[in-house]
Amino acid sequence: MRMIHSDLCGPVEPATLSGERYVLTFVDEYSRFCEVCLIKKKSDIAVEFKKFLKVIDTVKRIRYDNGKEYVSGELQKVSRNAGVEIDPCPPYTPQLNVAAERMNRTLFDKARSMLYDSKLPKSCWDMQSKLLPSCITEFHVLV
């Protein structure tokens, strides 16, 4: 993995049963491998990125939008310490972060469909979100 795209969605209503309101995605530009993290606060992005880097240690660059949660000092510090180059998109240009934006749309569309079909309460959306990345990545590999 050389280039990772990241995006944060939320707050999602209702919160999950354990209180998460945000969906954070990390998407590999080449393989479209996707890691999905459910977080309670926007400020948890740096912590989740640090965990992601422990598992995937070949990240060279990360691209994200200019949300306050991304340009915070903590995420910058984690990136610098890991030797990851930061490549923020200019404001109001989501098309430059299309890998993460598209993955989020796909995740939410599929999660809504699965939730509707399963007849579970809306607060169970996290169960579907955790299952979808592997299905989507598998689909990309097979096609």
Which strands sit side by side in the sheet containing 85-88, from one edge to the other? Answer: 34-39, 22-28, 3-9, 61-64, 85-88
The CATH number assigned to the domain with range 2-136 reads 3.30.420.10
| Angle, alpha carbons 140-134-137 (nearest 5°) | 15
Is the confidence at residue 135, as pLDDT, over 60?
A: no
Q: Quick check: pTM over 0.85?
A: no
96-124: pLDDT as tens digits: 888 888 888 888 787 777 777 777 776 66
Q: What gap in Å lies between CA 80 and CA 128, rounded to an integer?
A: 33
For 82, the token pair is: 């890991």
5-29: pLDDT as tens digits: 999 988 988 888 888 899 899 999 8
In the predicted model, what is the mean pLDDT of the chain? Answer: 82
